[in-house]
A and B are shown apart, each in its own frame.
Chain A
Amino acid sequence: MRFNLWRQLTLIATAVVIGVPLLVICWSVLQLVWSNDTSTLSHLWATVVPEYIRHSIILLVGVAAGVITLGVTTAWLTTACRFPGQRILSWALLLPLAMPAYITAYTYTGMLDFAGPVQSTLRDWFGWGYGDYWFPEIRSLGGAIVVLSLVLFPYVYLITRATFIQQSATTLEAGRSLGLNPWQCFLRLALPLARPAIVTGATLALMETLADYGTVQYFGVTTFTTGIFRTWYGLGDLQGALQLAGMLLVAVILLIFIERWSRRQARYDQRNNRPAPPFQLNGWKAIAASIACWLPLLFGFILPALQLTSWSIERSEVWQDPEFWQLTMNSFGLAVLAAVLVVTMALWLAYGRRQIPTKIVRTSVAFAGLGYAIPGLVIAVGLMVFLTSIDHVIIALSESWFGVNPGLLLSGTVFALLFAYSVRFLSVSLQTIQAGLGEIRPSMDEAARIQGYKPLQVLRKIHLPLLRPSVLTALILVGVDVLKELPATLVLRPFDFNTLAVRAYEMAGDERLADAGPPALMMVLVGLIPVILLSRAMLKSQQSALKEQEFVPVTA
């Protein structure tokens, strides 16, 4: 009993600690309301905020339109139709998820800017010179929309596809018997039935868009994330940064509510008796379908990957550079450390939720799982404020007691990074582990108990072997996410501590795109692992398609 009470307290404490960055930001907003000191805010409002809002809204609307168009088209074609290449495409369309958006942005800049291969070729062919012709500027708001859509559409694809597979043949056959042609069946039955899934997928993509820093920063688009960074680092205005973070948080929460609201009564689950027979496409229709599916893959993954490979070959000397391998070690060490930490926490929370399902424990665990929605930069800002103030207390105490200044123990070390990763990626591992734990029905525990096994033996004989795949998956997902995470790492990393993501960002920032190639390629290669896991899970669950709750975002 006492142990149970103690255990409950640790669960609640975990949730509170995970919530610290959020609480800090809420606190700063509340303070603003109480103190009525709106000078910073009104200055921001007068200068930059309207622009941030305008750009963010255009970006969100554009990306929403992009991911829904690409995602739904490819999902419908690969599930409902049969054409050459359909089988490969059905898993290959997940590949763009392996590309961090900012890396794709670098590759397109490399390909499309004035000195890039595309414009050079055009000039060679037509004999144009500088200023003779118009070419779309990739480093723009429109470019950001295109790049983010190309990278994020697999979210919509994955979830919508699962829904299309679940849709029962009888629904569509009923439509046909009532006089609809196949195209009308899609528009009037399949699409409305998939609406909750489309909304969920689009929401995930939009959250990533709001959290994105690398792409918009590189393209020079001012949004909240770049604004937070500039207000804090450029202007040294921490209060302003906190307030902007608060606004970004409001936008994220708004997004979550819109998603919940849009599928409030949507329970479109169908008993999957018989999957609908696919349409066999022939002739020009098959070619058109093929092209429609290959293009997003080509632009979302193949071309950027080729560009990275060519840069990596161009800068082959980097691969022998010990500094590069030091960087790689840093990244992987950090990823492993964070993954083990986060998964351990997730296991503790998931088991607590299973074994002491009191209301407060359930609320705590649900709260601890909210982090994925919060942009990394927001977490970083909130955490920085909190940790520095604690550090100052520690320094003051240490100086008065021992006369020693220990330095920034928390905010200046890897501790801050691990803390931020825990907040952001706990939900990824929590969902994976809870899904795995859900497979172990309580009656299995009881069956083992009644066969004469003690609780710890049940854990070893039943839970350990059954949970191992979920734990491994969670470790990989978190590890890769950590490897790719840019904004939080950029802000919170200890002095002189670099990772692959930060190196790629710095090189691109210095207009040394080719030098960004090797670290970026490394990240993409590692990023392929969870995508492969995901595609295997997707193919395996063709029958019992992926549930929405089990789905977690895999890019950072």
Chain B
Amino acid sequence: MSRLQLDNIHISFGALHIVRGVTLELKQGEIGCLLGPSGCGKTTLLRAIAGFQALQSGFIHIDDSSVSDEKHTLAPEQRGVGMVFQDFALFPHLNVEDNISFGMRKASAIERSKRVDELLDRIGLPGYHKRFPHELSGGQQQRIALARALAPKPRLLLLDEPFSSLDAELRERLAVEVRELLKKEGITALLVTHDQQEAFAMADKAGVMYQGELLQWDTPYQLYHQPKHQLVADFIGHGVLLQGTVNTEGSLASPLGMLEHPSLLQIPAGTPVSFLVRPDDLVPDPTSRLRGTIKARGFRGAHNLYTIELASGVEILTLSPSHEEFTVGANIGLRPEFDHLVVFAADHCELPGFHDQAPTVQPLPTVLPKTQSA
């Protein structure tokens, strides 16, 4: 049974289209995540689900009952939805206990205090009942805000950039903690963020929004490895899009050499395409004929991330273990190691059929590194 279902949602402010045709589904107990740059409409979408924003068209269903369509918007207080706000929005005149039990209006005093105790234990702040919000640190306030939203056992929990005002280290730890807590409580949740690490740490399903459109709604793994749109590939993870042209023989001429893949036979010769090269798709190999010059090195702890300029002038990225160090300016060989290909047509959408099989790569013998010829 789907807990949350959005059908072709449109939201606009005057002539400004903020959300265009978003469709997505969350099953009971799943954690979803909307990713995207600021201003892409993800927060507006979340507020529409909460009932603070009316729709121009489309439907929102919670537990198969309609809560929003173009004519009706069920009041937020009648939706049984919880929300964690970006600025936490704790009530400064109430102590922690009263803040948490604020939404448990129908519960008895005993039930309330039991629930408050339980939640404070779960969020690791037992005994904080009588504290006031201004006495708490940012991370503690965040957890209280979460507990307040969870207290009435909402059908659906919405989180609007819940970690954005915290520092990076705390953010990652809390993301994992919050996921555990939500799973323990069996809560269905939808999270909005611009931080992909947060999304990967939390989400069962994730999507990338851009200018009001939901480009892809999938598992984080699929988003990374099989982006359906060039912008998704761009937004998630490191990587480079290389341009190439399909040859008559069903192979792809690219800066890396000739790529061969059965699916290329389906594509008319002469079609310009682009394909995604993740840093882990290229491995340093001194014997390789594909060579390039190291332009920059970024230390990433276990790995170094190198930016390499190929002889053709194209820049690509590659990873190598950090104890195996190359100097900037050195000339190294690279061996492509694709598990699969992600190929985009000129309209930025992915071409089908490249996932099941790895391509073979023939580095072009004619392309010789400039440094060697010099």
A466–B94 CA distance with the chains assembled, in angstroms: 10
Q: Is the CB of B82 within 8 A of A448?
A: no
Q: How far is the CA of A545 from the CA of B54 in the complex (A)?
A: 40
Known pairs A451-B102, A451-B152; A446 contacts B83 (CB<8 A): yes
Q: Is the CB of B86 within 8 A of A446?
A: no
Q: Which of B207-246 contact A (CB under 8 A)?
A: none
The complex places the Cα of A462 from the Cα of B89 at a distance, in Å, of 11
Residues of B within 8 A of A465 (CB): 93
Q: Is A444 an interface residue (CB 8 A)?
A: yes
A443 near B76 (CB under 8 angstroms)?
no
Q: Which residues of A contact B75 (CB under 8 A)?
A: 449, 454
User: Within the complex, which residue of A441, A447, A452 is in contact with B152, where a contact is CB–CB below 8 Å?
Assistant: A452
Q: Cβ of B152: which chain A residues have Cβ within 8 Å of it?
A: 451-452
What sequence of 0s and 1s flags, for each residue 423-451 of chain A, a beta carbon within 8 Å of any chain B beta carbon?
00000000000000001010110111111
Query: How far in angstroms is the closest Cβ of chain A from B92?
Result: 7
The docked-state distance in angstroms from the alpha carbon of A506 to that of B299 is 83
| Interchain CA distance A454-B75 in the complex, whole Å | 9
Q: How far is the CA of A466 from the CA of B91 in the complex (A)?
A: 9
Tell me the complex Cα distance, A462–B98, Å. 12
Asked if B93 and A448 make an inter-chain contact with CB atoms under 8 angstroms apart, the answer reads no
Determine if B77 and A443 form an interchain contact, defined as CB atoms under 8 angstroms apart.
Answer: no
Q: B93, A443: Cβ atoms under 8 Å?
A: no
Question: Is A448 within 8 A of B102, CB to CB?
Answer: yes
Alpha-carbon distance A44/B152, docked complex (angstroms):
75
Nearest A residue to B160 via CB reads A443
A439 CA to B82 CA in the complex, in Å? Answer: 23
Quote the shortest CB–CB distance from A468 to chain B (angstroms).
9
8 Å CB contact of B76 from A444, A450, A462, A466: A450
Chain B interface mostly: loop
Instruction: Flag if B85 contacts A454 (CB, 8 Å).
Output: no
Is A444's CB under 8 angstroms from B77's CB? no
**Residues of chain A lying within 8 A (CB to CB) of residue B76:** 446, 449-450
Given A452-B77, A454-B77; A447-B92 close (CB under 8 Å)? no
Q: Is A453 an interface residue (CB 8 A)?
A: yes
Minimum CB–CB distance from A473 to chain B (whole Å) comes to 16
Q: Which residue of B lies closest to A446 (CB)?
A: B52
CA of A453 to CA of B152, assembled, Å: 13
Flag if B83 contacts A447 (CB, 8 Å). Answer: yes
B71 interfacial contact with A, CB 8 Å: no
Indicate if B81 sits at the interface (CB-CB under 8 A).
yes
Q: Is the CB of B87 within 8 A of A443?
A: yes
User: Looking across the interface, which residue of chain A has its beta carbon closest to that of B102?
Assistant: A451
Chain B residues, CB < 8 A from A451: 77, 82, 102-103, 105, 148, 152
Name A's interface SS. helix
Query: Whole-angstrom distance between the alpha carbons of A452 and B92 in the complex?
Result: 19
Question: Do A446 and B105 form a contact, CB below 8 Å, given A439-B92, A462-B91, A465-B93?
Answer: no
Q: Is the CB of A446 within 8 A of B77?
A: no
Interface centre among B52, B77, B79, B83 (most CB of A within 10 A): B77
B142 to chain A, nearest CB (A): 14
**Interface residue? B33 (CB, 8 A):** no
Determine if A447 and B105 form an interchain contact, defined as CB atoms under 8 angstroms apart.
Answer: no
CB nearest neighbor in A for B82: A450
Structural contact, B50 and A446, CB atoms closer than 8 A: yes
Give the docked Cα–Cα distance between A439 and B92 (Å): 9
CB <8 Å contact, A450 and B102: no
Q: Bound complex: CA of A241 vs CA of B86, how far in Å?
A: 57
Interface code B12-42, partner A: CB below 8 Å = 1, 0 otherwise?
Answer: 0000000000000000000000000000000
Judging by beta carbons under 8 Å apart, are B89 and A449 in contact? no
* Contact assessment for B93 and A446 in the assembled complex, using a CB-CB cutoff below 8 Å: no
Minimum distance in angstroms from B228 CB to a CB of chain A: 33
- How many chain A residues touch B (CB < 8 A): the figure is 16
A451 CA / B158 CA spacing, docked (Å) = 12
Q: Bound state CA distance, A443 and B81, in angstroms? A: 15
* CA–CA, A441 and B145, complex, Å: 15
A450 to chain B: which residues have CB within 8 Å? 50-51, 76-77, 79, 81-83, 103
Nearest-neighbor residue (CB-CB) of A444 within chain B: B89
Nearest-CB residue, chain A, relative to B86:
A443
In the assembled complex, the Cα of A448 lies from the Cα of B50 at a distance in Å of 12
Measured CB to CB, the nearest residue on chain A to B94 is A465
Do residues A453 and B85 form an inter-chain contact, with CB atoms below 8 A?
Answer: no
Chain B 129-155 residues near chain A, CB threshold 8 A:
148, 152
Partner of B93, one of A441, A447, A454, A466: A466
Closest to A457 in B: B77
Q: Which residues of B contact A449 (CB under 8 A)?
A: 51-52, 75-77
Distance, CA A451 to CA B86, complexed state (A): 16
Q: Which residue of B lies closest to A453 (CB)?
A: B77
Q: Which residues of B contact A462 (CB under 8 A)?
A: 91, 93
CA distance A453 to B75 in the complex (A): 10
A444 engages B83 (CB within 8 Å): no
Check A446–B103 contact: CB distance below 8 A.
no
- Contact (Cβ within 8 A) A441 B83: no
Distance (Å) between the CB of B352 and the closest chain A CB? 41
Do B89 and A447 have beta carbons less than 8 Å apart?
A: yes
Q: How far is the CA of A197 from the CA of B167 in the complex (A)?
A: 33
Residues of A within 8 A of B87 (CB): 441, 443
Distance (whole angstroms) from the CB of B80 to the closest CB of chain A: 8
Residue-wise interface mask of B (347-362) relative to A, using a CB-CB cutoff of 8 A (1 in contact, 0 not): 0000000000000000
User: In whole Å, how far is A448's beta carbon from the nearest beta carbon of chain B?
Assistant: 7
- Complex CA distance for A285 and B81, rounded to whole angstroms: 65
* Residues of chain B lying within 8 A (CB to CB) of residue A453: 77, 105
Question: A504 CA to B81 CA in the complex, in Å?
Answer: 63
Separation of A444 and B89 alpha carbons in the complex (Å): 5
**A444 vs B148: C-alpha distance when bound (angstroms):** 12
Chain B residues with Cβ below 8 Å from A444 are 89, 91
Shortest CB–CB separation between residue A460 and chain B, in angstroms?
Answer: 12
B92 touches A446 (CB 8 A): no
Which residues of A sit under 8 angstroms from B93, Cβ to Cβ?
462, 465-466
| Cβ–Cβ contact B105 & A452, under 8 A | yes
Q: Is the CB of A446 within 8 A of B85?
A: yes
Query: Which of A439, A444, A451, A453 has most B Cβ within 10 Å?
Result: A451
- Contact indicator A443/B85 (Cβ below 8 Å): yes
Interface set, chain B 46-102, CB cutoff 8 A to A: 50-52, 75-79, 81-83, 85-87, 89, 91-93, 102
| Chain A residues numbered 482-523 whose CB sits less than 8 Å from any CB in chain B | none
- What is the 8 Å Cβ interface bit string for chain A, positions 448-478, against chain B (1 contact, 0 not)? 1111111000000010011000000000000
Residue with the highest number of chain A CB atoms closer than 10 Å, among B52, B75, B76, B105: B76
Q: What residues of A have a CB within 8 angstroms of the CB of B77 in the complex? A: 449-454
Closest Cβ–Cβ distance, residue B14 to chain A (whole Å): 13
A450 to B50, CA, bound (A): 7
Contact of A452 among B50, B103, B148 (CB under 8 A): B103
Distance in Å: Cβ of B87 to nearest Cβ of chain A: 6
Least CB separation from B77: chain A residue: A452
A541 to chain B, nearest CB (A): 14
Residues 102 to 139 of chain B near chain A (Cβ within 8 Å): 102-103, 105
User: Which residues on B are within 8 Å of A, measured CB to CB?
Assistant: 50-52, 75-79, 81-83, 85-87, 89, 91-93, 102-103, 105, 148, 152
User: Could you show 17 A-B contacts with beta carbons less than 8 Å apart?
Assistant: A443-B86, A446-B76, A446-B83, A447-B89, A448-B91, A449-B52, A450-B77, A450-B79, A450-B81, A451-B103, A452-B103, A452-B105, A453-B77, A453-B105, A454-B77, A465-B93, A466-B92
Besides A443-B86, A451-B102, A465-B93, 14 more A-B contacts (Cβ < 8 Å) are: A439-B92, A441-B87, A446-B50, A446-B83, A447-B148, A449-B52, A450-B79, A451-B77, A452-B78, A452-B103, A452-B105, A462-B93, A466-B92, A466-B93
Nearest 7 Cβ contacts at the A-B interface = A451-B103, A443-B89, A447-B89, A443-B85, A449-B76, A452-B77, A444-B89
